[in-house]
Amino acid sequence: MIRAGIIGVTGYVGIEICRILHQHPQVKVTYVTTKTYVGDDIAAIYPHLQGIVFHKGAELNVDVIIQECDLIFISLPYGQAVKIVPLLLAAGKRVIDAGPDFRLKNPSDYVQWYKLESAPVELLNKAVYGLPEITNKDNIAKSNLIANPGCNSTAVLLATYPALKHKIIQPNECIFDVKVGLSGAGREPDTYKLYSEIAENIFAIQVAGLHRHTPEIEQELSLIAEEPILAQFSLHIVPITRGILVTACYKLKEPKSAHEIYTLYKRTYENEPFIRICRLGSSAKVKNVRGTNYCDISIHVDVRTQRLIVLSAIDNMIKGAAGQAVQNMNLMYQLPQTTGLDKFVAIYP
């Protein structure tokens, strides 16, 4: 059994990791920490886990974590994981960081976008960006430090990977219109997240290259394309709790039919259990992946404009965060990718 710890268990991502690990056959959660609810029953804070989770929230104590855990999931605001990770690695522990501290390979990118000192380069070099369908899986398996991708980045990259890798699209003409639900903004109370502000509303945030997932997306797209890429990424808040829908608009280099591209995507992802290519003519829908680790992808070609439209849908809390973290864990421990995740099927309606 893997002895797992969760740092920051009472955030939305932390509690999802906790829920998923409790249903995982190879994991025992041994230690969970919280800043706000030290000493409280987790099930009192999150009563959906009554009868299922019996932990109390502990204060963060690195010594205890090192003693109790083999693997540590970190779900903290940016800038905090970087303080803890060196201690954990030094003690021989393995770490999956759900935050952004180790995602950007170029320290100056981190400084520019997060206005904080970056993690040291040697640590960044150790960290593997863990998007299992795209990243080399052996690298994940061998790593002790996984930078779990951002939720928007996950949906954008999975939509783009086959087309970009197979060079059928113009790399610098990628336009990503992203719609995300509120859980992605976390549980800290802010006015803009209130039900009264969000219901019957839609709006953009940090549009026109201002959102922090921009450099992460561009870094990974550039790696796939093997050339520097600037992407147009526009993020919108929509009144749903969970889910991301990406509408990606690409320019085809040469005319291709939807069916050809459908086949390309099918083939590219044929061994990936969490990618589902939708039937031609149908649209990916967030409700179909809600509560699951799936990414649904649909393919559309405008024959008049020779643009390719790809829609990708994920649950931002699962494939976009906690589920992907567990998928990475499975790879790190040579378990089937799907262990503990394959029972999650969307409920409909």
Site for a second copy in 31-60 (CB under 8 A): 44, 46-52
Q: Report the residue from 239, 257, 259, 267 that binds a second copy according to the rule CB under 8 A.
A: 239
* Residue nearer to a second copy on the CB measure, 143 or 316: 316
Q: Which two tokens stand for residue 68?
A: 């109790």
Q: Residue 212 and residue 56: Cα distance in Å, rounded?
A: 33
Q: Residue 245 and residue 247: Cα distance in Å, rounded?
A: 7
- Does residue 240 touch a second copy according to CB under 8 A? yes
Q: Residue 324 and residue 336: Cα distance in Å, rounded?
A: 13
- Minimum distance between the CB of residue 144 and a second copy, rounded to whole angstroms? 29
Q: Are 123 and 110 in contact (CB under 8 A)?
A: no
Q: Residue 349 and residue 346: Cα distance in Å, rounded?
A: 9
* Residue nearer to a second copy on the CB measure, 10 or 328: 10
# residues contacting a second copy (CB under 8 A): 88
- Minimum distance between the CB of residue 177 and a second copy, rounded to whole angstroms? 4
Task: Give the β-pairing of 307-314 and 295-302.
Answer: antiparallel
- Minimum distance between the CB of residue 54 and a second copy, rounded to whole angstroms? 13
Task: Give the β-pairing of 27-33 and 94-97.
Answer: unpaired
Q: Report the residue from 2, 5, 8, 12 that binds a second copy according to the rule CB under 8 A.
A: 12
- Does residue 286 touch a second copy according to CB under 8 A? yes
Pick the catalytic residue: 18, 151, 249, 295? Answer: 151
- Minimum distance between the CB of residue 3 and a second copy, rounded to whole angstroms? 21
Q: Is 278 a catalytic residue?
A: no
Query: Any idea what the Cα angle at residue 218 is, between residues 225 and 300, rounded to 5°?
Result: 70
Q: Report the residue from 71, 140, 284, 332 that binds a second copy according to the rule CB under 8 A.
A: 284
Q: Which of 336, 332, 339, 325 is nearest to 148 (CA)?
A: 325
- Does residue 164 touch a second copy according to CB under 8 A? no
Residues acting as catalytic residues: 151
